[in-house]
Structure 1
Amino acid sequence: MSIDFLPDKPIYQQLIDRIMGDILRGTLSTGQKLPSVREYAVEAGVNANTMQRVYKELEQMEITETRRGQGSFVTENEEKILALRNEMKEQLVTTFLQNVASFGFTTDEIVKCLQERGDEA
């Protein structure tokens, strides 16, 4: 099952975002073992070196940890996951507000639209 990647963002970053999204949604839980680099590379349809970079970046961010001879695991540090969740939320809101402002929408217009859409969810 290959992933459709966006052309305007590096593939490794899209894979990092995907794994972080899986963690934040609970699809991957704290302490859960990740597929091997090769398994994930085949699943994603990318080179194993790309996947190795993804795992290295996640470990540097302290989102995952490597256990010698066992593989990579999602961190068990729930405070780190909560901090990641809050950081991602802030980034998304900031980007959203910058886009809204660039088109000249007022806060009232956006709040009304969000409230209407919230009823649909």
Structure 2
Amino acid sequence: MFELDMRSRQPIYEQLVDKLKELIISEVLKADEQLPSVRTLAQQLTINPNTIQKAYRELEVQGYIYSVKGRGSFVNPNSLVINSEKLETVKKELLKVLSEAMYLGLKADDVIALVRELDASIGGTSEV
């Protein structure tokens, strides 16, 4: 499914949360699709099942997945609503970071070039 960087300073469960969010947001994992069981994913990634459980719990708290007792974890179809709220938070954070970058000398053209580069790397087609 994906790989984790065991040498990274970022905790493994956070890497797992980020990777799963990415798969959900990009709709690789569809609404109501079942996620791999904790045991299965722990074996595939060769990490402790408690780490997987912690990541799943965090995704559930953030609204990206839901659990059904005895059946497993599934992609939350309501995550699009939550995503719009999260998007507003991200926009505010992005404005702060861009303001600081421009204050430090980053030009608007450089910002636009970075956005275009990012858009191309994720297969986007939007015009900037």
> Shorter-chain-normalised TM-score: which range?
0.7 to 0.9
Q: Name the % identity.
A: 29
Which 10-residue stretch deviates more, 100-109 or 9-18?
A: 100-109
Superposition pairs for residues 1-121 of structure 1, below 5 Å?
3-5=3-5, 7-77=8-78, 78-84=80-86, 86=87, 90=91, 93=94, 97=98, 100-101=101-102, 104-111=105-112, 113-114=113-114, 117=117
Q: Is the 8 A contact 2:42 2:52 kept in 1?
A: yes
- 1:110 is paired with a residue whose SS is helix
Mapped partners of 1:18, 1:43: distance in 2: 15
Mapped partners of 1:35, 1:11: distance in 2: 17
Distance 1:61 1:116, change over 3 A: closer
Q: Is the 8 A contact 1:2 1:45 kept in 2?
A: no
Distance 1:115 1:57, change over 3 A: closer
The one-letter amino acid paired with 1:42 is: Q
Which 10-residue stretch deviates more, 25-34 or 41-50?
A: 41-50
| TM-score normalised by the chain length of structure 1 | 0.75
Distance 1:43 1:102, change over 3 A: farther
Mapped partners of 1:91, 1:48: distance in 2: 35
Mapped partners of 2:45, 2:92: distance in 1: 25
Distance 1:79 1:42, change over 3 A: same
The one-letter amino acid paired with 1:108 is: D
- 1:39 is paired with a residue whose SS is helix
The one-letter amino acid paired with 2:68 is: R
1:110 offset after TM fit, Å?
2.6
Mapped partners of 2:9, 2:99: distance in 1: 19
Aligned residues: 119
